[in-house]
Structure formats: structure tokens, C-alpha cells
Structure 1
Amino acid sequence: MQVPAQFEYERATSVAHALDLLTRYGPESRLVAGGHSLLPMMKLRIANPETLIDINDLDELGGIRIEGGELRIGAMTRHADVLASPVVAEHTAILRDAERVIADPIVRNRGTVGGSLCQADPSEDLSAAFAALRATVVIAGVDGERTVDVRDFHTGPYETAVGDAEILLEVRIPVRPGGGSAYTKVERRVGDWAVAAAGAVIRLAGDTVADVGIGLTAVGAEHFAAAEAEEFLRGAPATDASFAEAGRIAAEHCRPTADQRGPEDYKRHLAGELTTRALRTAAARSRGEQG
């Protein structure tokens, strides 16, 4: 039976209290909400925090709302709540698509948006979706709050811009009328980590791509984004040929690694194909052709 190393436990009652506890216990303390990533790592002794700070009582970090022209999702919002939200479905179909393929109902009922982002797993779904949406995140520390572009949030595998005595508050997504979005994923079995996945957000001006965001996961894309493919598509005709070329460019610039889920060439092929599919679906939704 695998058990974690000994640790201290504290339960935060507010964001200010959580920050105080993080400061008091130092860099060897960790926040825990859903715990679906951290606790298994602790059992395997991959992670050995000296103190766990439980933030499940912080209702102030939950909720989904439109404010200031942005869709705002609290860090403690459960995956199931994102999936069930009519506001999310109306404005960001890509998040609905992504949440449908994250793990299983048990995990979605407990796991949180903030926990997924802060885990920073290279195969994590929401990181690619938020990269495509060009979201920003709000981080709080003892000296106040700061906003970080989500594409600058992940500094490496399992590493983020959140400091030792900081906490992620919420994700903010600009609401831009008239666009479409989609997320598509290949996995070995339902609910598994992605072999490869791609998300796309697109706004059309007639038959031309006015703006686009493309996110990739599990294929070594820098900042979970396909910036070169985005640059190619802006101002290009919104055709299958353009989307296929964007997929080729996205595949060319990603850096997949071989593992038990497949060799590099297979993952690169998936990156291109899934990017093309996500763009087609996002464009169709922008035109009102798909739900």
C-alpha cells in the first residue's frame, strides 16, 4: 500500500488566510483543492510537501460570471460546473468541448479549473483551450494582485508563474461576439490524458479569418499555442485549404516526445490533423452551422 510522507494540515478560511499560511509555512507548503493530481503524486513520493493547505472552503474563488466584457471563472470552480454552465456554452464552446473529455464524472465533480492549470501537466486540456482563448489569469500575493497572460503562465513542465506565497484567483476570457470555437482530442481510452489535442477560436469577416487562436496539448507546443499557424491564418481565406495549411504549420513547429502513447511522427501527424479539424468546426460554429 502506497502512503504519502508525513505532513502538516491546515484549512484556510479566506484567501488572506491562505496567503498567510503559505507565507508562514514557506515553499514546502502546497495548496490542495480537488487533489486528484497532487495526492497520487504524494502517495508515490514524487511530491513531498511538508504542509497541505486546504482551500475547499474558499467560496470566494468559485463562480462563473460575465463582468467588464470578460467571462470570469474562479480558480475553485469545479470542472462539472464549467461543463454545466449555460454562460460557458454560449460564449466559449471550446471549454464545453474540453470539459467533456477531461477524466470522468467523479474527477469533474471534485477537480478544479485552478488545480488543472497549476498542475501544469504538459498533456492538460484546459491549458490549450485557454491558450486558444487568449485568456489571462489573476494571481494574488501578500503585496496585492497581478495579471498574467495565460501563454506566459506555464514556465515549464509542472511549473507556473505562481510564486511560493501566491494563489491563483481566477481566469478571465475576453468575450468577442460573432466567433466560434472548438476542441478536439485523441486519447487511448475515454477520460485519459491526451495523446494529442487541439483547440481553435476563430472570428470571421465574411469569408476571411479576422482573428484566430490555436492551442495544442501533449505535443510540445511552446506555451500550449501554435503562434506560427495563427500568424499564417490571420487575413487568409476561411477555407479547408487554409485550415489544412495551418495544421501543417502547427505540426511543423511542435516538439512531441515519444512515450507509451505513441512515437513522435504519430503525435506530429495528430497535431496537424486535429488543428485542421478544430479550425473547421470553429469556423462552422462561427457561421452558425453547428451547435
Structure 2
Amino acid sequence: MAGFCPGERRTVFPAAFDYARMHSAEEAISALAQHGGDARILAGGQSLIPAMRYRLARPAVLLDIGGLNDLKYLREEGGFLRIGAMTADMTLERDKNVRSRYSLLTATSDVVADPVVRCVGTVVGSLCHNDPSGDWGAASLAARAVMVVRGEGGERLIPIDEWLVDSFQTALREGEMAVEVRFPVPEPRTEGAYQKIERKVGDYATAAAAVQLTVDDSGRVTRAGVALTAAGPRPVRVEAAERILVGQLLSENLILAASDEARAISEPFADNRGGVDYKKDMARVLVARGLRQTAQRLNITLGASA
């Protein structure tokens, strides 16, 4: 979800635009090539429509892919959980396989906006919008997701670290359309958590952190993903924290050291949700909470030190 809330309440209407309902992904790609940068894809619309209302986005042509059922899927294939561009957040929230095996995705989908938005908003759409306070960016970074885009020149696979370029900017090229996001199927003994604070249900994150860990039979971390949202111009992976965790047995001291790195890398903006120091502290606190929750899900008892 994304909304734009100016200081005062007022009715705002989008600039004039043409509308075309697409009947296939190929038709949408052809239309993108025809209209160039003047066209935008409309999927769930929970991010784009509010931006258009306040004229932060002014596409000349909207290409509606809402009826493309061939892009509405959620399946495991080739070592990935593949999520089509028209798959709504609510689909992940209700899927039994996702809930039993993908704890990070479950924790994230449960807190995206509110149930009404989750029924319409899509995971791929959120990643295309790339709001710096959005939820799916951090979760995708921690899980090492891959975006799939298609254009007249063929298909490209883009690691999520390369996809999230800047505030509301991605690696999508003119004439391309995002058709899928892929999350690696978790290895055995993999768990995750998503911790978020917000002013009210459905609001943007004041601060949020995504964590995913894989441990061996001894409890030693073999893979780590730690990422933040609302911590700068785009979601950010806390690589220093990941390096601290990998190869170590989880302990309270290790968690504190990793969470300190989250505070150090966080570059939030002061706004009516809080000041810079407060948000940096919350990044630290939420990473620590996420790591403790993940340890609990892995049945690891934390001591002061390993």
C-alpha cells in the first residue's frame, strides 16, 4: 500500500489519462513499447492511484492488467516460490504452505496495510512502487528475492538488491513489465521474522526490520538476511549485521552486536512519525526483536554469549 497524506484534507483528482484494459501480458508489453514512458501498468492500484490523485504520478496512459489471470499464481518451482504480478497480498496471508514454511513472508503479509488493501494490493506492485517505507522491500532483501521482468527484448532476472535503486525507482527499463517475484525455497532450519511499528493499523512503517536465518544442527548460523525499511531513501540490507551472524552460534551478545549495525546504517528522515535518533534506535530495537523471535522459532535458547 502507499498513500499520500498532505497536511490538510482536500479532494484531489488525477490529471487526464487514457485507459486500456489488457488481455494478455504480450499485449501489455506491446502497448508499453508503443507509448514509452507515458504509460504505466495498473495492477492492484493501491500505490499508483493515490500517487495519481495527488499528481505525484501523471501517466498519459494506464494499462490495466487486472484481468490477467495467467499472472495470478503462487507456486513452488525450480527452487523458488514464484509469485505472479497479479497475486494479492491476501493470497500469501491465507496460503497454508506459505504459513507453514515461509515465516518471514507470513509475518510480512500479516501487517501490510489493512485487510481491505491486502485483498487488492499485490506483492509485485509494491516492489515496483518501491516506497522507502513499504514492507515488501525489506522482506525481499532479507530473503534474497529475484524480480522477473519481460519486454519485447525478452526476459530478465534481477536480484532484489539491484532492483531497489532509490525512492520510488527500480531497475525496470522503459518498455518492460514486472511479471513475477521469486523467493528462494527456505532450506531446512530456516526461520524469519518481520518487526514493525506504526502509528495506527494500515499506516506506513515508522520503522521496520526483516530477519531470516538458517542454522545447522548445532545452531550455528549458515545464512543470514537482515534488512530495514523506513531507514533511508530505499529499503536497505544490513550487510555488517549479516557478517556478524554468519558462522556464529546465536547468543544475546551476538544479537546486540548485529542490531547495533542496524542503527549505524540507518539513515531515516525526521517527520511526524518521529525524529532521526528515535528511528535509528527503533531500527536497532526491531532487528534485535526479530533475531530473538527467529531464535525462538528455531528452538534456540539464547545465553549471554556463545
State the TM bucket, normalised to the shorter chain. over 0.9
Alignment partner of 2:206: what SS?
A: strand
Give the Å deviation of 1:68.
1.1
Q: What does 1:15-164 correspond to in 2, within 5 Å?
A: 15-164=25-174
Question: Which one of the candidate residues 257, 271, 285 is aligned to 1:259?
Answer: 271
The answer for the alignment partner of 1:183 in structure 2 is 194
Cα deviations by residue, 1:178-219 (Å, 9 ceiling, x for unpaired): 211111101011121000000111011213211110111001
Question: Which one of the candidate residues 273, 279, 282 is aligned to 2:294?
Answer: 282
| Percent pairwise identity | 39
Q: Cα–Cα, structure 1 residues 106 and 223, in superposed 2: closer, same or farther, change >3 Å?
A: closer
1:235 lines up with 2:235 in the alignment = no
Cα deviations by residue, 1:53-99 (Å, 9 ceiling, x for unpaired): 00001112111111112111112110111111112112211111111
The answer for the alignment partner of 2:230 in structure 1 is 218
The answer for the alignment partner of 1:194 in structure 2 is 205
Amino acid at match of 1:269: D
Q: Would you say how many aligned residue pairs link Structure 1 and Structure 2?
A: 289
TM-score normalised to structure 2 length: 0.91
Alignment partner of 1:115: what SS?
A: helix
Cα deviations by residue, 1:128-165 (Å, 9 ceiling, x for unpaired): 00100011111111111010101111111000011121
Distance 1:273 1:223 in 2: 17
Distance 1:38 1:174 in 2: 28
* Root mean square deviation of aligned Cα: 1.4
Distance 2:285 2:156 in 1: 37
Query: After TM superposition, where is structure 1 displaced by more than 6 Å over at least 4 residues in a row?
Result: none
Give the Å deviation of 1:240.
1.5
Amino acid at match of 1:23: A
Distance 2:195 2:204 in 1: 13
Question: Which one of the candidate residues 209, 220, 225 is aligned to 1:208?
Answer: 220
Alignment partner of 2:149: what SS?
A: strand
**As a proportion of its length, which structure holds more helix?**
1
Alignment partner of 2:119: what SS?
A: helix
The answer for the alignment partner of 1:6 in structure 2 is 16
Distance 2:56 2:91 in 1: 30
TM-score normalised to structure 1 length: 0.96
Alignment partner of 1:277: what SS?
A: helix
Distance 1:28 1:63 in 2: 28
Gaps of 5+ in 1: none
Give the Å deviation of 1:288.
8.1
Alignment partner of 1:71: what SS?
A: strand
